Amino acid sequence: MSGRSRSFAFTLIELLVVVAILALLLAILLPSLASAREQGKKAKCLANLRSIGQALHEYALEDRTEQLVPIHESMLQACDYWEWRTVIWFAWGGRSGQTPFRTGPSSSILLSAEGPAARPQYDARRRPLNRYMLGRVNLADTRQLDLFHCPSDRGYPQHPDIDDSPLDNAERPCYDTLGNSYRASLAMITVIGGDSHSQGHFSSGPWGHRLTTLRSASMLALVGEPTFFNMIGRDSGHDPDPVLVTGWHKQFMVDNLLFCDGSARPTRASARYEFPADGATALSVYDPGLLSHGKGWQLDDYPVPGARLWGSNELWRATFGPAYDSKWPFADRQENMPGH
């Protein structure tokens, strides 16, 4: 008997059905894969923050004034608006800037020792935590210090209510432009000159305080992903209205924070508690806007007295009058920066 061979092939309709099924499966699977990938990045970020917290605590234990946030030289001298408004909050550690930090439509600075508009004081070799951790910071370290890099860092968002960084630098990774993905919580009052240069800094948060005097360490923000500090409201005029944006890890109004006790966790930017003027008077607080507390976090450490970092006492008395010596955060202030 002779047999006949038959050839089998997919019809066009069958092929299209298979392709449609594969596309459907991919559409279901890809968000899960993207979510898993982002969870991995968030875990890496939290590990970075915990390691930074350990390094900061070791630094404070060896520092004669117990500074939990290392003091960069620019924190104790006059500097341009966007330097004191943004740069010094990142300059405690990290690499040199790899791309210019845009301060305006046609102006920028490079946080490095070399290059156009360079600011050598912000080079990695002059950042205080780097010197403590690494001893001698070599040329390779100035370009790559992964501990200070959040893998989801995409910079400050393009949003009209973001006032912690110039809008011209929006959507540009902080690790590239500022050398550090993580901003210190430098809750402070600044005296500003007519040229917008800083003239003095007075801290109500962890910056400038002795570690052993901090009271609310598990709630007091130390370092974190920078958008959080704008999510809770604009700094200008102590605006309490939240800035509604999504954090780096794709969670609405959530960013990772490191706290003064060394713990790190994703933290929701809840609305700031409002302290009415009569309540502030009862607490002997100079300005209720200086009390910055929310659910699970706080930026100030009331009732711990504030710390004068820079600017003469005469300057602060001239600015705030008798309240400088009688009301929180000024009363019984800490003087940990001799000579400034």
The answer as to whether 169 is a domain residue is: yes
Q: How many domains is the chain partitioned into structurally?
A: 1
Q: How confident is the model at residue 179 (pLDDT cuts 50, 70, 90)?
A: very high
The answer as to whether 12 is a domain residue is: no
More confident residue, 49 or 35: 49
Q: What pLDDT is recorded for position 7? A: 57
The answer as to whether 331 is a domain residue is: no
The answer as to whether 74 is a domain residue is: yes
Among 181, 176, 180, which residue's Cα sits nearest to residue 100? Answer: 176
Task: Write the burial class of residue 193 (CB in 10 Å: 0-12 exposed, 13-18 middle, 19+ buried).
Answer: exposed
What's the rounded Cα separation, in Å, for the pair 334 and 314?
16
The answer as to whether 152 is a domain residue is: yes
The answer as to whether 5 is a domain residue is: no
The answer as to whether 135 is a domain residue is: yes
What's the rounded Cα separation, in Å, for the pair 218 and 239?
25
The answer as to whether 333 is a domain residue is: no
CA angle in degrees (0–180, nearest 5) for 229-162-233 = 50
- pLDDT digit string (tens) for 207-225? 999 999 999 999 999 999 9
Q: What is the domain range of residue 251? A: 17-326
Residue whose tokens read 């390691």: 51
pTM of the complete model: 0.87
Q: How confident is the model at residue 308 (pLDDT cuts 50, 70, 90)?
A: very high
